[in-house]
Amino acid sequence: MNSLQNLLSPVKIKTMELPNRVVLPPMGTNLGNADGTVSEANLAYLKRMARGGAGLIITEVSAVYPSGSAINCELGVYDDRFIPGLKRLADVAHAAGSKIALQLHHAGRESLHLLQEKKAIAPSAIRSLVFGLTPREMTREEIQEIIAAFGAAARRAREAGFDAVEVHGAHGYLLTQFLSSLSNQRADEYGGTLANRSRFMLEVLEEVRRRVGEDFPISLRISVEECIKGGYTIEDINPLLPELVRAGADIIHASLGTHGSPAGITSAPIEYEPGFNVWRAKKVKEVVDVPVIAVGRFTDPNLADEVIARKEADLVAFGRQYLADPDFLTKAREGRHEDIRVCLACNQGCIERLILGEGNIRCAINPETGQELIYPSGPAAVRRRVWVVGAGPGGLTAAYEAARLGHKVTLFEKEETTGGQLRFVCKAPHKSIYGDWGTWLTSQVKKLGVTLHTGTKVTERMIEEGKPDAVILATGGEKIIPDIPGIDLRMVSDAWQILSGEVDPREHAVVIGGGLIGMETADFLLKRGAQVTLIEVLKRSPVLKITSHGYMLHTRLREGNCKLLFNTAIRRIEENSITILSDGEEQILSPVDQVIIAAGLKPRDDLRKTLQARGIPHFIIGDALQPRRIMEATEEGARAARNLS
């Protein structure tokens, strides 16, 4: 068993002594109060994360100036009135035995609400790659004001009891905007050459150092590569790093990319291997003599231990893994690696939820994240006999949460194996981890004493004889089969038959349906050498390119020469061809030797009327209510379990 002796070894940085090399990095939560003060939800969230034992916690972004907030509920540090709330944050971390740094932030042009209000500022009046709106160019006076604001914010952080500060110079925010020639086209001493473009970052560090003193640690989070066409590279940045250290940086937090970089690289999707960015941290270590934090889809403490043992980094940041399982480090220390809930890098709750304006932070596979104030520790006041019907993501989560709260749970699944749609999702390229999660969740359900019956379809008679106190219906969805002439031909199958291996791919395939099921099936077919045409009746794909996986999926289909036909309807299917109506024009596609239906799902709630008639308390969750993402299924499953008493 790996002892994790490298990862768990202490390290001292200036006056700050860390008990281990694990970092909980900044992640935006949107949990703050509207006036920028620390909320009870902030405190509850941080308290739960701190229980995970990270040596260093770095808070989410905190605005150093009113013109710099990225989100409406971003924490503020631009006035002394914020100090009492920030002190409570620091106290929470210290109570758990961790050290804590406050991240100092200015969004520059990357703030939708400030852009819309025409208040966003930036080095140059160049439109945001993320939001498509243009900021106002900063005056020299404003530059000096913001530099001073970083210093004043750092002073407040020290007064509030933080052990360090982190200057946010990454991900396309203001400091990166100055550093990049793509966003900085100034003609004064803050623009032009890299030496001039780096001046703002250097002066911010110098001012922070001046305000906090020589003994107080300063971390600099920097995108060492922009990862965007025409942007700077690590070869450009490495000669600058020693200057940044001389200006005040005691730690280099070696991140990458901007929020305008393709594929959401700052929160890399499942297509990237854990630890994919370590090589950049290693190159940073070659030119600086201060600790370097590696970041990039870390989920496994053993891998992090190896990285430190090889001296490729000094500390390792586990971001989304903490959202998926705040206790992963404790479990690893105890040798319970099989109990770790591994992050899927799906970004549904932590990234997409924020960028799509869906609310505060969540995790698609951990219903506790972001809901710490209402998440019950258990046990339930009244323990009930609960039946959960359906063992997909929603049903398994409902069974787990109900059993965790002390209810006697019986879980039924009509198929021979658990997992629901995960049994097919995991067959798509890069998504095997979804099957692993389903297997893990099944094992956890069993450990909690849930009685599991597979290959069992629940009937009205079973309910009558079993007399459960409550039922959670997680029966999923049923396939939508469109009414198209020729749909019954032997050349026609559905996406689930293709992904499961029941039907082999053929050379010339047409996929009907451009949602996630259809696009992932097309991806699956391309990988097996098929020539694929994908047809969708909508004018554009419902799989958004602004999501990380969506971008990667669109890219693979394009590079695989998949023909994407939107605003297109199927007229009829015939042997070796199909007739379509595309943009009002009828066309015949040929040759076609395989047609695959991927038109999505509709709710399956066969038992609802039975439960209503018998007056049995029940909850309908996940696809049985309305087909959506994993996040909705798990959240509804957990909520149903909470509402049993």
Q: What is the pLDDT of residues 584-606, one digit of tens each?
A: 899 999 999 999 999 999 999 88
Per-residue pLDDT tens digits for 300-336:
999 999 999 999 999 999 999 999 999 999 999 999 9
pLDDT reading at 260 higher than 90? no
Q: CB-based burial of residue 225 (10 Å sphere; 0-12 exposed, 13-18 middle, 19+ buried)?
A: buried
Cα(322)–Cα(328) distance, integer angstroms: 7
CA count, 13 A, side-chain hemisphere, 591:
6
Per-residue pLDDT tens digits for 520-558:
999 999 999 999 999 999 999 999 988 889 999 999 999
635: pLDDT confidence band, cut at 50, 70 and 90?
very high
Per-residue pLDDT tens digits for 289-305:
999 999 999 999 999 99
* 565 assigned to some structural domain: yes
- Among 355, 371, 393, identify where a domain stops: 355
pLDDT of residue 355: 77
Mean pLDDT in residue range 627-633: 95
1: pLDDT confidence band, cut at 50, 70 and 90?
very low
Mean pLDDT in residue range 415-430: 97
Mean pLDDT in residue range 98-124: 96
Residue for token pair 């030797």: 593
Mean pLDDT in residue range 502-518: 97
344 with 389, same domain: the answer is no
- Tell me if residue 78 is catalytic: no
pLDDT reading at 27 higher than 90? yes
pLDDT of residue 168: 98
Q: How many other CB atoms are found less than 10 A from the CB of residue 616?
A: 17
Mean pLDDT in residue range 401-421: 98
Residue 264, token pair as written in the block = 């959401």
**∠ CA 242-246-247, rounded to 5°:** 115
For the chain, what is the domain count?
Answer: 3
Cis before 393 (ω within 30): no
2: pLDDT confidence band, cut at 50, 70 and 90?
low
244 with 340, same domain: the answer is yes
Per-residue pLDDT tens digits for 434-493:
999 999 999 999 999 999 999 999 999 999 999 999 999 999 999 999 999 999 999 999
pLDDT of residue 357: 78
First and final C-alpha spacing in the chain: 42
Cα(492)–Cα(510) distance, integer angstroms: 10
406 with 461, same domain: the answer is yes
DSSP secondary structure code for residue 171 in this structure: B
Report whether 52 contacts 329 (CB < 8 A).
yes
Residue-by-residue DSSP string for 22-77: EEE-------S-TTSPPPHHHHHHHHHHHTT--SEEEEEEEESSGGG-SSTT-EE-
* 631 assigned to some structural domain: yes
pLDDT of residue 583: 86
503 with 449, same domain: the answer is no
* 111 assigned to some structural domain: yes
Residue 478, token pair as written in the block = 């049923």
Of 45, 78, 173, 272, catalytic: 173
**∠ CA 269-270-274, rounded to 5°:** 100
Which residue range forms the structural domain that includes residue 459? 385-479+602-642
404 with 415, same domain: the answer is yes
When comparing pLDDT for 93 and 356, which is higher? 93
114 with 160, same domain: the answer is yes
Cα(253)–Cα(276) distance, integer angstroms: 15
- Assign residue 638 the CATH number of its domain: 3.40.50.720
Cα(260)–Cα(131) distance, integer angstroms: 9
- Assign residue 132 the CATH number of its domain: 3.20.20.70
Per-residue pLDDT tens digits for 136-195:
999 999 999 999 999 999 999 999 999 999 999 999 999 999 999 999 999 999 999 999
Q: How many other CB atoms are found less than 10 A from the CB of residue 81?
A: 12
27 with 167, same domain: the answer is yes
pTM of the model: 0.96
